[in-house]
Amino acid sequence: MKRTYEDILLVIDMQNDFVADDGRCRVAGAKSTVAAISRALASARERGWGVVYVVRAHRPDGSDAETFRRHLFSDGSGVCVAGSRGADIVAGLRPEADDYIVVKTRFDAFYATDLDVLLRGVGARRLYLAGTQYPNCIRSTAVGALERDYEVAVLTDCCSAATPDVAEANIRDMIAMGIRCLPFSDV
């Protein structure tokens, strides 16, 4: 039953609260990457890669939310509350049976999660990042992967930010760190 995947496609935070038009913390560029991520998922599965969805999910009272986001829980219904529509992965990118799901509460998908346990468990060596958004969860996770000696690539057609300027500035920094940034077609 044990599976081995040296290559892993990570799909990060592609949830209604970040992607949908009425998302509580909408990232302007995210929706336009859904088609590219969908194609990347199909290709990754065809190549026999592992697929890991990283999703943000908070307890309803927001006790586990960042301090700067707590007001979204006290003044309203919160963001990415576990089990809510806002926390659901967007239509078009739904996980398949063999995919893994990792839940996080911060930017870095390695922080306070079992992502590294899982990746070591399946023998992962190379990570390809898709999702949103560049300055926060994508960059933090890319750096977290770098720190743990994974080979990491950021898929530029599958990642997004609030504006193109923000995306470009972060890509420049990541390339300078030694993180490959390229469209999926160039992998």
Q: Are 94 and 142 in contact (CB under 8 A)?
A: no
Q: Is 35 an interacting residue with respect to its own copies (CB under 8 A)?
A: no
Q: Per-residue x/- mask for its own copies, residues 69 to 108, rule CB under 8 A? A: -x--xx-------------------------x---xxx--
Instruction: Please report whether residue 141 would count as binding its own copies according to CB under 8 A.
Output: no
- The residue among 157, 182, 162 whose CA lies nearest residue 39 is 157
Is 140 a binding residue for its own copies by CB under 8 A? The answer is no
For its own copies, which residue of 122, 166, 169, 182 counts as binding (CB under 8 A)?
122
Closest distance of CB 117 from its own copies, Å: 5
C-alpha Rg value of the chain to the nearest Å: 15
Give min distance, CB of 1 to its own copies, in A.
5
Q: How many residues bind its own copies (CB under 8 A)?
A: 25
151 in Cβ contact with 177 (< 8 Å): no
Per-residue burial over 17-30, b if 16 or more Cβ lie within 10 Å, else e, is bbbbeebbbbbebb
Least Cβ distance, residue 93 to its own copies (angstroms): 20
Do 43 and 184 contact (CB within 8 A), yes or no? yes
Name the minimum Å distance from CB 106 to its own copies: 7
Does 168 engage in binding with its own copies (CB under 8 A)?
Answer: no
Structure tokens at 126: 């190379």
Q: In terms of DSSP bridges, do strands 100-104 and 7-12 run parallel, antiparallel, or are they unpaired? A: unpaired
CB of 112 to its own copies, least distance (A): 4
Residues 95/36/21/15 CA torsion (nearest 10 deg): 30
When binding is defined by CB under 8 A, the residue of 7, 64, 151, 173 that contacts its own copies is: 64
Binding site for its own copies (CB under 8 A): 1-3, 59-65, 70, 73-74, 100, 104-106, 112-114, 116-118, 121-122
